[in-house]
Amino acid sequence: MMKKIISFFTLLLFFSSCLKHKTIEPASVDSSCVDTVYFNSELMPEIFTPSCNVSGCHNSTDMAGGYDLTTYTAINNNADIILQAIQQSGNVSPMPKFQPKLNDSLITKFDCWIKQGKLDN
């Protein structure tokens, strides 16, 4: 009986010492998405108004490609394809059309907004 008790405590000590040294990593934290991205005060004025909602492109009058990107709902519903277009990847037309690629910080900001749940904030 004493041998079983000693064996039990030895195993208990062994497993508890293993757990003590194990580092628990947070679930998939994207280090580039530290700050909350705000749709109305960041994305719309920094990306969509100057680069998408211009004459001949994705405004409510012209709707190039059938996309009106002047509202939260439209951008939210098409976020994945917009991301591919501004990253200039995938099988979509690179955007903005006939303009230089957006700055990587703006593309990252839009990607973070998606990862943060596409908040209407």
Average pLDDT over residues 51-70: 94
25, part of any domain: no
Residue of 30 and 74 predicted with greater confidence: 74
The answer to whether 86 touches 95, Cβ cutoff 8 Å, is yes
Q: pLDDT class for 1, splitting at 50, 70, 90?
A: low
46, part of any domain: yes
Q: What is the dihedral of CA 45, 68, 92, 109, to 10 degrees?
A: 20
Supply the mean pLDDT for the chain. Answer: 84
50, part of any domain: yes
Q: Give CA angle at 92 (86, 94), nearest 5°.
A: 40
The answer to whether 13 touches 7, Cβ cutoff 8 Å, is no
Residue 64 tokens read as: 């190039």
- How many domains are contained in the chain? 1
Of 102, 1, 71, the closest CA to residue 111 belongs to 102
Residue of 97 and 25 predicted with greater confidence: 97
DSSP 85-105: HHHT-TTS--SSTTSPPPPHH
Residue 34 tokens read as: 């530290």
21, part of any domain: no
Average pLDDT over residues 9-37: 57
Query: Residue 22: its pLDDT value, please?
Result: 42
pLDDT per position as a tens digit, 99-117: 999 999 999 999 999 999 9
Per the structure, the complete domain to which residue 91 belongs is given by 39-115
With b for 16 or more beta-carbon neighbours within 10 A and e for fewer, the 73-107 pattern comes to: ebbeebeebbbbbbbeeeebeebbeeeeebeeebb
87, part of any domain: yes
108, part of any domain: yes
